[in-house]
Amino acid sequence: MTTKPLPKFLKDPPRFLFFTGKGGVGKTSIACAAAVALARVGRRVLLVSTDPASNIGQVFGLSIGNNRTAIPHIDGLFALEIDPEQAVESYRERILGPLRDVLEANEISSMTEQLSGSCTTEIASFNEFTTLLADDTATATFDHVLFDTAPTGHTIRLLQLPGSWSEFLTAGGDASCLGPLSGLDKHKDLYSAAVRALADPNRTRLVLVARPARSALSEIDRTRAELASIGMTTQYVVVNGVLPVSTGTVDTLAAAVHRRERAALDHLPSALRSLPLDLIELKATNLIGVEALTTLFETAPPSGGMASAVPTVPAIADAPLAALIDDIVRDGHCLIMCMGKGGVGKTTVAAAVAVALAERGHDVHLTTTDPAANLTETLDGTVDHLQVSRIDPARASRAYRDRVMTVKGATLDEAGRAALAEDLRSPCTDEIAVFQAFSHVIAQSRHKYVVVDTAPTGHTLLLLDATGSYHRDITRQMVPGVRFITPLMRLQDPTQTKVLLVTLAETTPVLEAAELQADLERAGIQTWAWVVDNSLAAANPTAPLLRRRAATELEHIRDVTTHSRRYAVIPMLPEEPVGIPALTALARPAKRTAGAR
């Protein structure tokens, strides 16, 4: 291999580097490789994950969690995962610990329940984040702190929260929705310091990571604008996973992928063209372990040096998406939730399922809870019987605030209405509003097919946590003997809800999907089927680089079959599956072979 100089985004790096972008673009790989590179030149580095579904531990092959962990064999490199559950437990104990000898057990129990919702989870994780960013004593021993963030939409919310909470508290907000968290104003100075750190170009650099695909590049263009509006103007662009020119053009799939990548890069949004740009080549294997990470910034040989020892890739069992759709139709109206790690193709699979059902004449509502998803771009057209919507946090929050002011505010005097309006400006209101919008969508599945493209794993679990909290509240309040159905009860009923776990045939997405399946089972929610998206093994490539990647998929596809007897495998396509015709083709019936189910 020919060693490439350090990428532009690592030249003269400031103290803080943030890696963000659409799910599945390789933020974690880029962040981990950057941390290794900086440590290798003598810097002390703390690598922090703010993603609830963090996988930096998997990349380095060790358990990390909420404690700073030294990375073996790399002097000066430490990692930390802001784990929501651990953060909440620690946060809750800081509040309740001093009160245990003062209050009655029932009061402690009530306060514990108030501190068990998704809003508390967000605040607990957020406080950990702002402490690392704004409290110099917390990171004094490190030269650099690298943040591997959650997928775009949730990262934007995280980075906007210091300003949101700072403004809310400065305005004298009471945040009564937080119950015993009203002491939040003690952190006002910390939040203000976080705002200053984010906007200081000498301290913070934003690295926008994308794949060489139209949707991913459009996503970071939107992110660039939103984060520039809060002062994060020192921005770099990294396009990861670019097919090397040396791959050749004999393989029709490789040639088609190369053409579409070049077209996407040639039409890079103008605002991104003005930013420093790094292109990182696609590698033949998954980037797991320090040795693999050190190769990420290297380039491939200029000619066919990879032609030797190309593995034979046996054919895999035919498992079309159309067969799953046939089974869904047989069972009748239901809620279909496409879940999984960011970037695995949830939006594409959800859209393909919805289009297939609508084209069969069924009424379908396709919606998304992912702030970064764009169903309109994926569909690029309309279909009879198909309704498309988006659970937009801003719109849902406005509707929720207006509804509360109209109903609850009607009985209040002017001072009371002003206090209520101030309380509703709390950032926690967004979580409540999104949950209510989600509940409304679930209810529609009684008389039509509802297909939900969910947010990436960690944030979907927070939404389900809110659903569980609501269920417990309703259960406590209902008069014994009165029948009722909560959103959680619908999710737990396999005749009413079908969960499709979408994954790629790679180590981390499969592991994360398996963990998600276990989390869902603990909540009483069963996984109905798995979908392996964008499979090279199913596409039968001939180019050596793609053949090597295809060979690594086989064991992961076998793993999928151990987790679910019902699954589908979607091959990588020469063109992106965008538009109604392409989505229809994705779910077109295909001949099945023995062993596919």
Catalytic residue among 21, 22, 23, 26: 26
Residue 265: CB partners within 8 Å, gap ≥ 6? 212, 217, 239, 242, 279
- Residue 498 designated active-site: no
Going by the DSSP 8-state scheme, the letter that residue 179 receives in this structure is G
Distance CA 133, CA 139 (A): 8
| Lookup: tokens for 515 | 């963990």
Distance CA 324, CA 331 (A): 11
- Residue 508 designated active-site: yes
Catalytic residue among 20, 28, 164, 204: 28
Q: Residue 477, exposed/middle/buried by CB under 10 A (0-12, 13-18, 19+)? A: exposed
Distance CA 84, CA 249 (A): 46
User: How big is the CA angle at 522 (ends 334 and 178), to the nearest 5 degrees?
Assistant: 90
Residue by residue, what is the 3-state secondary structure of 510-534?
A: HHHHHHHHHHHHHCCCCEEEEEEEE
Going by the DSSP 8-state scheme, the letter that residue 536 receives in this structure is S
Catalytic residue among 51, 278, 370, 533: 51
Question: Nearest-CA neighbor of 343 among 219, 528, 521?
Answer: 219
Instruction: Find the distance separating the first CA and the last CA of the chain, reported in whole Å.
Output: 42
- Residue 24 designated active-site: yes
Does residue 459 contact residue 487 with C-beta atoms inside 8 Å? no
Residue 515: CB partners within 8 Å, gap ≥ 6? none
Catalytic residue among 29, 192, 397, 426: 29
Catalytic residue among 426, 503, 508, 552: 508
Catalytic residue among 24, 153, 163, 342: 24
Catalytic residue among 22, 27, 283, 346: 27
DSSP 384-435: TTEEE----HHHHHHHHHHHHHHHTGGGS-HHHHHHHHHHTTSTHHHHHHHH
- Residue 29 designated active-site: yes
Does residue 289 contact residue 527 with C-beta atoms inside 8 Å? no
Question: Nearest-CA neighbor of 566 among 533, 597, 593, 534?
Answer: 597
Distance CA 550, CA 531 (A): 17
Does residue 500 contact residue 338 with C-beta atoms inside 8 Å? yes
Does residue 497 contact residue 491 with C-beta atoms inside 8 Å? yes
The set of catalytic residues is: 24, 26-29, 51, 508
